[in-house]
Amino acid sequence: MVMQSQNQNNPILTNKRAFKGIPVIDLSCPDDAKHLIVNACQDYGFFKVINHGVPLWLVSQLENETMGFFNMRQSEKDKYCPPNPLGYRSNTIGTNGDVGWIEYLLFTSNDFPTNSKTFSSVAKEYVEAVRKLGCEILELVAEGLKIEPKNVLSRMLSDEKADTVFRLNHYPPCPDHRPTTNGRNPIGFGEHTDPQLISIARSNTTSGLQICLSDGTWVPVPPDHTSFFINVDDLLQVMTNGRFKSVRHRVVTDKLKSRVSMIYFGGPPLMEKISPIGSLIEPGEESLYHEFTWFEYKSYGYKTKLADDRLSFFHKGSHPLSEKDKTVAKEYVEALRKLGCEILELVAEGLKIEPKNVLSRMLSDEKADTVFRLNHYPPCPDHRPTTNGRNPIGFGEHTDPQLISIARSNTTSGLQICLSDGTWVPVPPDHTSFFINVDDLLQVQKCKE
- Supply the residues annotated as catalytic: 259
Q: How many CB atoms are closer than 10 A to CB 420?
A: 5
Under DSSP, the state recorded for 320 is P
- Per the CB < 8 A criterion, the answer to whether 348 and 360 are in contact is yes
Amino acid identity, position 406: I
Query: Residue 109 and residue 131: Cα distance in Å, rounded?
Result: 9
Q: Residue 317 class from Cβ within 10 Å (0-12 exposed, 13-18 middle, 19+ buried)?
A: exposed
CA angle 130, 136, 137 (to 5 degrees): 90
Rounded CA-CA distance 283/129 in Å is: 39
- The CA distance from 299 to 196, in Å, is 13
One-letter identity of residue 196: Q
Nearest 5°: CA angle at 4, between 58 and 244?
85
Q: Cβ(111)–Cβ(2) under 8 Å?
A: no
* C-alpha of 249 from chain center: 12
Decide if 153 contacts 139 (C-beta within 8 A): yes
* Maximum separation of any 2 CA atoms in the chain, in Å: 71
Question: Cis before residue 85, ω within 30 degrees of 0?
Answer: yes
Are the C-beta atoms of residues 264 and 199 closer than 8 Å to each other? yes
Euclidean distance between CA atoms 226 and 9, whole angstroms:
22
Closest CA to 257 of 171, 169, 189, 168: 171
CB atoms within 10 A of CB 154: 23
Of residues 145, 143, 140, 162, the one with CA closest to residue 278: 145
User: For residue 326, what are the contacts with CB-CB under 8 A and spacing of at least 6?
Assistant: 320
Angle between helices 117-145 and 56-70 (to 10 degrees): 130
Identify the burial level of 399 via C-beta atoms within 10 angstroms of its C-beta, where 0-12 means exposed, 13-18 middle and 19 or more buried. Answer: middle
* The amino acid at 329: A
> DSSP assignment of 66-97, as one string?
HHHHHTS-HHHHHHHS--SSSEEEEEEETTTT
